[in-house]
Structure 1
Amino acid sequence: MVPQSLLSWRNQHRPFKTNWGVLIPWLHSFQLSSVFAFQLDFLVFCSATTSKISRERE
């Protein structure tokens, strides 16, 4: 689900350009860094689980 603030931000800044100099401060201002941290934790958890399963199979 896309936040309403994101839609209004896109409408104000058309055409929407992926410019990291603009995007990174914008992401931090909306505190999406916690979302990325959660995804990173999830990836680490998945890789750890996968390696554990592969070790049990040996």
Structure 2
Amino acid sequence: MKNDRFEAIYSQGTMNVTEIWVDKETGVNYLFRHSGYAGGLTPLLDREGKPVISPITSQ
């Protein structure tokens, strides 16, 4: 089953990778970071501590 809910909009690095993913249903932006076998995902927050939300484009 293919999951098209998330889209990578930014990627940097090869061994130590930093990516920004957008949830296409809610518009919430997430920071994904991985290095080797370790990684983590967290929502991106603005200065007020609220999630960064991108406009949702229809497909």
Q: Quick check: which one's helix share is greater?
A: 1
Higher CA-based Rg: 1
The structure with higher relative contact order (CA 8 Å, sep 6+) is: 2
Alignment TM class, shorter chain as reference:
under 0.3
| Greater fraction of residues in strand | 2
